[in-house]
Amino acid sequence: MKGMDVRKIVVVVEDVEAARTALKWALHNLLRSGDFLTLLHVFSSSSNSSSMEKLRLLRLNGFQLALSFKDICNNSFFNTNVEIIVTKGDQEGGTIAALVREMGAFALVVGLHHQSFLYKLAMAHSNITSKFNCKVLAIKEPAARPARRTRAMPLPVDSSTSMDFSQIEIATLEVPDTPPPKVPYTICPNPYAVIWKWRKSRRKRTS
* Inter-CA distances, 171 with 21, 42, 50, 96, 107, Å: 11, 28, 42, 27, 22
What pLDDT, in 10s, does the model give residues 76-129?
776 789 999 999 999 889 999 999 999 999 999 999 998 899 888 888 777 777
What pLDDT, in 10s, does the model give residues 1-36?
455 688 999 999 999 999 999 999 999 999 988 899
In whole angstroms, give the CA distance from residue 26 to residue 4: 18
> Is residue 171 very low, low, confident or very high in pLDDT (cuts 50, 70, 90)?
very low
In whole angstroms, give the CA distance from residue 70 to residue 197: 80
List Cβ neighbours of 97 (8 Å cut-off, separation of 6 or more): 121, 131, 132
In whole angstroms, give the CA distance from residue 122 to residue 82: 29
The yes-or-no verdict on residue 177 having pLDDT over 90 is: no
> Residue 174 CA to chain centroid, in angstroms?
18
The yes-or-no verdict on residue 37 having pLDDT over 80 is: yes
Q: Is 43 helix (H, G, I), strand (E, B) or coil?
A: strand
pTM value is 0.68
Contact call for residues 95 and 45 (beta carbons, < 8 A)? no
In whole angstroms, give the CA distance from residue 40 to residue 108: 10
Domains by residue range for the chain, with CATH: 8-140 (3.40.50.620)
* Neighbour tally for 44: CB within 10 Å: 12
Beta bridge partners of 156: 168
Contact call for residues 89 and 59 (beta carbons, < 8 A)? no
Helix axes 17-29, 52-76, angle to 10 degrees: 40
Q: Is 41 helix (H, G, I), strand (E, B) or coil?
A: strand
